[in-house]
Amino acid sequence: MNAWHVKLVIVGWLTMGVRLLPGAPDGTALSSVLPTPETILFELRAACLAHHPLAMAAQKRAAQAQQGYAGTAGYFDTTLSGSAGTASWSRSIPGSTLGSGIVANGATFESGIERALRPGLFIGAGLAERRLTELGEGRDDLYQSLAGVQLRVPLLKNRGHAEWRWEQRETEAAITVATQEVTAVRQQLCLETDTALINLFEATSGRDAYRQSAQRARALVAEAEELVRLKAVPAYQVHAARLDAALQEEQVAMAEHGVEAARIRLRALVGALPASLDSADGLVEWAGRCPPAPPVNLDDACSRRGVMAAAEAMIEQARAAAGGAREAMRPDLALALTASWQGEDTDQPWGSRAQGDGETLGADAALVWRVPLERRRERATWRAREARVAEQEALRDQQRRLVSAEIDETSRALDSARERLGLVRAAVEDATRALEAEAERFRLGEGRSRNVLDAQKDLITTILRRETAAGAVLRSQAALAYARGYPEGLLPPAADLPMRPEPMLEKE
């Protein structure tokens, strides 16, 4: 059996092994089972969004806003009041709003309730028991029982519960602001996760390139030493090779540190890292799958960006606050309608007979008007809130400009990086062939080790520029997806989430 037959047998065994992998259906390629950078990216995004403290804090702020909206229902809470006291020769002050409700020359106990009702009125009911003294003309003390119902209808200020409606609109807008800030935080975390993963892939690719360069340097040292032993080249040819090998080892150590630093930064975002990071495609292959920048509709992008939606909601919140301040400037005019029953008794409380005027039922209607003369506080508050509206509109316009600039910048950066990647990939092939040619010349004794070292430096420089260009492609694509508001969504639907054969996590 010759070598070609052995190779064919080995390939057949490997193919059968791939087809019999657990979880891989018959005929499925190995690449559909092994993780790709895209599947790892979705896993890391999901982990970051589920556990990152900033995402949790944003959700709690949204919960606070919802409780603020629920608190506006307190406007319709029932108010219970009560008082008890005694007075002698007291007098009421005309126009005063500080009346105690206690009658002169007597003792009083009273209680009442009041509640706001839709569409725009207040209803109240009260009960009182009084003991009147000092009636004069030799009359005995008199017990007086009073019950009544009152309707109060605001006609100008707070008409139709306008104060509550403005407050409700303001808190509704606050909920929208908090909810869209959650979206903005999630989008920002996804961008940071994408960037951290790309940086890790770039650091890993650079480390691997330095490892290969160090391996070539060691091989050159061994080859140079052998040629010197055979007296095919002068002994000084070894020194440059050894120097370059030592420097390459130092570069490998520095690159290893860069990889660990990138891992630490990614782990700070997502927690434990999946072990599949070590078996995924490389950086260049990932970047090669990136399509060119698509055309972007600015209005659609702004509608998906959390910061833009939050800015629009802040304008609505400021307008609602200004509406409430404008409502507070209106005069207070209300219609009050009252129906009452009063019973009296000279011997015991809770009397039901008519004494004195002989009537037990009564009714009255009144218009009550009240307005501050200067209204300095109300005017200042209203002007400040109108200025707040203008401020939020200006901030919204500025944010739209920033989104437009982000889209233009990242689109151009993506197209430029893709072009650079194509050019530098061809340069890597040329540098590889140049190194092979110089190495062959050195083995034949026609060249120097310095020529081989220069070719190796050209190759590692070109490879690193290729990795840098690939990283720029991926970072530009991630930034463009963020600028567009992630039109494909932050995560795929649950049913479409890519699955790995085994959910292995890195050991901490």
344 and 457 fall within a common domain: no
288 and 194 fall within a common domain: yes
In this prediction, residue 27 carries a pLDDT of 34
Instruction: Give the residue, 375 or 140, on which the prediction is more confident.
Output: 375
- CA of 401: how far to CAs of 192, 315, 316, 408, 482, in Å? 22, 17, 20, 11, 15
Task: Please write the tens of the pLDDT for every residue from 41-59.
Answer: 988 999 999 989 999 999 9
In this prediction, residue 37 carries a pLDDT of 86
Q: Is the pLDDT of residue 7 over 50?
A: no
Answer for the pair 506, 275: CB distance below 8 angstroms, yes or no.
Answer: yes
133 found inside a domain = yes
Q: Averaging pLDDT over each range in 40-49, 83-92, 488-497, which range is the top one?
A: 40-49
178 and 259 fall within a common domain: yes
Count other Cβ atoms within 10 Å, centred on residue 476.
Answer: 24
DSSP-assigned states of every residue in 266-318: HHHHHSSPBGGGGGS--HHHHHHTPPPPPP--HHHHHHH-HHHHHHHHHHHHH
200 and 240 fall within a common domain: yes
Given pLDDT bands bounded at 50, 70 and 90, which one contains residue 202?
very high
Given pLDDT bands bounded at 50, 70 and 90, which one contains residue 198?
very high
- pLDDT over 90, % of the chain: 44
**What's the chain's average pLDDT?**
81
CATH number at residue 184: 1.20.1600.10
159 found inside a domain = no
Given pLDDT bands bounded at 50, 70 and 90, which one contains residue 253?
very high
Residues 290-299: what's their mean pLDDT?
A: 93
125 and 257 fall within a common domain: no
62 found inside a domain = yes
The number of domains in the chain is 2
Task: Please write the tens of the pLDDT for every residue from 425-482.
Answer: 889 888 888 878 877 777 777 767 777 777 888 888 889 899 999 999 999 999 999 9
- Please list, in sequence order, all residues whose beta carbon lies within 8 angstroms of the beta carbon of residue 438, skipping any fewer than 6 positions away: 447, 451, 452, 454, 455
In this prediction, residue 11 carries a pLDDT of 30
Residues 325-345: what's their mean pLDDT?
A: 89
178 found inside a domain = yes
382 found inside a domain = no
Q: Which domain holds residue 150?
A: 121-154+333-370
In this prediction, residue 308 carries a pLDDT of 96
416 and 482 fall within a common domain: yes
Q: Is the pLDDT of residue 96 over 60?
A: no
228 found inside a domain = yes
**Matching residue, tokens 């109060």:** 152
36 and 149 fall within a common domain: no
In this prediction, residue 334 carries a pLDDT of 92
The CB-side HSE value for 292 (13 A sphere, CA atoms) comes to 7
Residues 376-402: what's their mean pLDDT?
A: 95
Given pLDDT bands bounded at 50, 70 and 90, which one contains residue 16?
very low
The structure's pTM equals: 0.77
In this prediction, residue 311 carries a pLDDT of 96
Given pLDDT bands bounded at 50, 70 and 90, which one contains residue 366?
very high
Residues 255-271: what's their mean pLDDT?
A: 92
In this prediction, residue 39 carries a pLDDT of 86
492 and 412 fall within a common domain: yes
281 and 194 fall within a common domain: yes
Residues 195-201: what's their mean pLDDT?
A: 94
**Matching residue, tokens 């463009």:** 480
In this prediction, residue 23 carries a pLDDT of 33
53 found inside a domain = yes
Instruction: Give the residue, 15 or 243, on which the prediction is more confident.
Output: 243
Backbone angles phi, psi at 349, to 5 degrees: -65, 175
Q: How far apart are the first and last CA of the chain?
A: 49
In this prediction, residue 93 carries a pLDDT of 59
478 and 407 fall within a common domain: yes
Q: Is the pLDDT of residue 298 over 90?
A: yes
Residues 408-431: what's their mean pLDDT?
A: 92
148 and 196 fall within a common domain: no
Given pLDDT bands bounded at 50, 70 and 90, which one contains residue 14?
very low
Instruction: Give the residue, 271 or 235, on which the prediction is more confident.
Output: 271
Residues 269-298: what's their mean pLDDT?
A: 84
In this prediction, residue 9 carries a pLDDT of 29
Token reading at 24? 């891989």
450 and 397 fall within a common domain: yes
Residues 111-128: what's their mean pLDDT?
A: 91
Instruction: Give the residue, 25 or 210, on which the prediction is more confident.
Output: 210
445 found inside a domain = yes
Residue 188: burial class (beta carbons within 10 Å; 0-12, 13-18, 19+): middle
Q: Averaging pLDDT over each range in 67-76, 465-474, 490-499, which range is the top one?
A: 465-474
